[in-house]
Amino acid sequence: MKTSLWTRAGAGGIVVGLLVGVGVAALTSLAPIPAVADNSSAVTVTAADYELDPAGAPFPDLSVTVSKTTDLVSEGILVSWTGGKKSVRPQGNVGGENFLQIAQCWGDDPDHPGHPDRTTCQYGAFPNAGRDSNVEANVEVDPNEPDTGLAPNIAPEDEQYTSAGSGFANPPYTSIPFTSLNGGTVASVVPNAEGVLVHDTGVDVNSNEFFTQYTSNEVKWAGSDDTGAGSIKFEVQTTMQSPGLGCGQPVVVAGQDTTGRSCWLVVIPRGTGDSGVSQIIRPGLFWDAWQHHVAVKLHFKPVGVRCEIGSAESQLGGSELIAGAISSWQPNLCAGTTGSAFVLSTGNESDVLAKAAGTVPSPLAFTSFPASTTTADPLQYAPVGMSGVTVSFAIDRRVKPIGGIDQDYIDRETQAFTSVNLTPRLIAKLLTASYVSALPPGADLTHINYVDFEHPGDNARNITTDPDFLEINDPEWAAQDLNSVSLSDALSPSGRSDLATQLWRYVMADADAVAFLDGTPDEWGMIVNPWYSTNAAINPTGAAFALPRDNFPKADPVETEATEGSNYVGPVNLVTWRPYTSDFENGAYLTLRGDGLQLGGWDSTSTPPKYLKSTRALVGEQGVIGLSTAAAASRYQNVTASLLNPAGAYVSPDSDSMLAAAAAMTPTAQQPKVLEFDPASSATRAALTAYPLTMPVYAALNPLQTDATQRAKFANLIRYAATTGQEPGTELGQLPAGYAPMPQSWIDQALVAATAIEQGISPTAKPPATSAPVAATVPVTPTRAAVTASGSGAVATAAVTVAAATAPTATGAAAGPLLGAATPDDPMVGPVALAVPAGLLSGLAAAGAVPMISRIRRKQL
Model pLDDT, residue 152 = 55
Nearest to 642, CA basis, from 437, 472, 478, 787: 472
| Per-residue pLDDT tens over the stretch 808-857 | 333 333 333 333 333 333 333 333 344 444 333 433 333 333 332 232 33
Pairing of strands 132-134, 173-175: antiparallel
Domain end call among 621, 641, 665: 621
Nearest to 746, CA basis, from 772, 777, 762, 722: 722
Query: Which pLDDT band holds residue 768 (cuts at 50, 70, 90)?
Result: low
pLDDT reading at 786 higher than 60: no
- How far apart CA 359 and CA 370 sit, in angstroms, is 17
Same domain, 251 and 369: no
Least confident of 19-23, 53-57, 348-352, 761-765: 19-23
Same domain, 754 and 693: yes
Same domain, 457 and 568: yes
Query: Which pLDDT band holds residue 148 (cuts at 50, 70, 90)?
Result: very low
Q: Is 594 helix (H, G, I), strand (E, B) or coil?
A: coil
719 inside domain: yes
Model pLDDT, residue 340 = 81
- How far apart CA 562 and CA 217 sit, in angstroms, is 35
Q: Which amino acid is at 138?
A: N
| Residue 481 to residues 434, 439, 464, Cα–Cα distance (Å) | 20, 19, 9
CB atoms within 10 A of CB 428: 23
11 inside domain: no
How many domains does the chain contain in total? Answer: 3
Model pLDDT, residue 295 = 98
Which CATH number goes with the domain that contains 319? 3.40.190.10
- What residues does 696 pair with on adjacent strands? 386
With residue 264 as reference, give the H or E element that holds it: strand 263-270
Same domain, 332 and 446: no
With residue 676 as reference, give the H or E element that holds it: strand 675-676
Same domain, 615 and 670: no
For 516-527, the DSSP string reads HHHT---TT---
C-beta separation of 488 from 461 below 8 A = yes
The set of residues, in sequence order, having a beta carbon less than 8 Å from that of 676 and lying 6+ positions away, is 368, 369, 665, 666, 667, 668, 695, 696
Model pLDDT, residue 22 = 29
With residue 364 as reference, give the H or E element that holds it: strand 364-367
In 733-772, which positions are buried (b, 16+ CB within 10 angstroms) versus exposed (e)? bbbbbbbbbbbbbbbbbbbbbbbbbbbebbbebeeeeeee
Model pLDDT, residue 137 = 46
Phi and psi at residue 748, in whole multiples of 5°? Answer: -60, -45
783 vs 209, higher pLDDT: 209
Model pLDDT, residue 433 = 98
C-beta separation of 122 from 218 below 8 A = yes
Least confident of 18-32, 404-418, 437-451, 474-488: 18-32
8 inside domain: no
Domain limits for position 516: 397-621
Query: Which pLDDT band holds residue 100 (cuts at 50, 70, 90)?
Result: very high
- How far apart CA 442 and CA 445 sit, in angstroms, is 8
For 467-481, the DSSP string reads HHHHTTS-GGGGGB-
Percent of the chain with pLDDT over 90: 71
| Residue 772 to residues 752, 833, 835, 842, Cα–Cα distance (Å) | 22, 16, 20, 9
Phi and psi at residue 701, in whole multiples of 5°? Answer: -160, 150
Same domain, 384 and 407: no
- How far apart CA 47 and CA 62 sit, in angstroms, is 5
pLDDT reading at 557 higher than 70: yes
Same domain, 216 and 292: yes
| Per-residue pLDDT tens over the stretch 357-414 | 999 999 999 999 999 988 999 999 999 999 999 999 999 999 999 999 999 999 898 9
Same domain, 381 and 402: no
Mean pLDDT of the chain: 84
Average pLDDT over residues 261-276: 93
Cα angle, residue 75 at apex, residues 74 and 79 outer, rounded to 5°: 130
For 422-463, the DSSP string reads E-HHHHHHHHTT-SGGGS-TTS--GGGT--BTTB--SS-SSG
Average pLDDT over residues 743-753: 98
Query: Which pLDDT band holds residue 337 (cuts at 50, 70, 90)?
Result: low
| Per-residue pLDDT tens over the stretch 492-548 | 999 999 999 999 999 999 999 999 999 999 999 999 999 999 999 999 999 999 999
27 inside domain: no
SS (H, E, C) 178-243: EECCCCCEECCEEECCCCCEEECCCCCCCCCCCCCCCCCCCEEEEECCCCCCEEEEEEECCCCCCC
Same domain, 203 and 227: yes
Least confident of 27-31, 268-272, 274-278, 608-612: 27-31
Query: Which pLDDT band holds residue 306 (cuts at 50, 70, 90)?
Result: low
Model pLDDT, residue 308 = 66
592 vs 7, higher pLDDT: 592
704 vs 781, higher pLDDT: 704
| Residue 604 to residues 212, 575, 601, 610, Cα–Cα distance (Å) | 21, 20, 9, 7
Average pLDDT over residues 233-245: 97
Model pLDDT, residue 452 = 93
Same domain, 294 and 152: yes
C-beta separation of 406 from 382 below 8 A = no
Average pLDDT over residues 445-450: 97
19 inside domain: no
pLDDT reading at 162 higher than 60: yes
763 inside domain: yes
| Residue 356 to residues 512, 556, 699, Cα–Cα distance (Å) | 39, 36, 10
Average pLDDT over residues 724-732: 93
Same domain, 435 and 372: no
- How far apart CA 503 and CA 548 sit, in angstroms, is 8
Same domain, 293 and 337: no
Nearest to 834, CA basis, from 382, 501, 349: 382
C-beta separation of 653 from 737 below 8 A = no
Q: Which amino acid is at 314?
A: S
80 inside domain: yes
Query: Which pLDDT band holds residue 128 (cuts at 50, 70, 90)?
Result: confident
Cα 592 to chain centroid, rounded: 8
The set of residues, in sequence order, having a beta carbon less than 8 Å from that of 331 and lying 6+ positions away, is 305, 306, 307, 732, 733
Least confident of 130-144, 505-519, 651-665, 837-851: 837-851
Domain end call among 621, 644, 674: 621
Model pLDDT, residue 272 = 93
337 inside domain: yes
DSSP state of 511: H
Average pLDDT over residues 789-806: 30
pLDDT reading at 156 higher than 80: yes
Nearest to 722, CA basis, from 849, 585, 848, 858: 858
Least confident of 509-523, 584-598, 604-618: 604-618
